[in-house]
Amino acid sequence: EDKVVQSPLSLVVHEGDTVTLNCSYEVTNFRSLLWYKQEKKAPTFLFMLTSSGIEKKSGRLSSILDKKELFSILNITATQTGDSAIYLCAVRGDSGGSNYKLTFGKGTLLTVNP
């Protein structure tokens, strides 16, 4: 069964700090790893990493994928109070299904204080 473990489960930082969120996974026939930000209800898409794209960057956010060690990190530099949210990591594998379900971790609750 596919499995995703995120750490830490919660984190409190001050504005301007840099944070690193971790995600380790076990999945049958890895296809992709996705990061989402969940502020209130709807998770919003951040990045998707695949075998052909193991590093992504958008503004202050960046993510890398280590397929050998089966983990990913999400970095946020110069944090702002608006970065406060739950960050979810999900993996997609091919276990015989169609269009590949997402298996999520429990998420990391990030709180950025002014």
Partner 1 sequence: DAGVTQSPTHLIKTRGQQVTLRCSPKSGHDTVSWYQQALGQGPQFIFQYYEEEERQRGNFPDRFSGHQFPNYSSELNVNALLLGDSALYLCASSPRVMNTEAFFGQGTRLTVV
Q: Does 33 bind partner 1 (CB under 8 A)?
A: no
Q: What is the spatial distance between Cα 79 and Cα 6, in angstroms, rounded to a whole number?
A: 20
Rounded to 5 degrees, what are φ and ψ at 65?
A: -125, 130
Query: Exactly one of 44, 80, 81, 113 binds partner 1 (CB under 8 A); which one?
Result: 44
Tell me which residue of 77, 83, 96 sits closest to 2, measured CA to CA: 96
Q: Which of 11, 13, 26, 104 binds partner 1 (CB under 8 A)?
A: 104
Which residues contact partner 1 by CB under 8 A? 4, 6, 31-32, 34, 36, 40-45, 48, 50, 88, 90, 92, 97-107
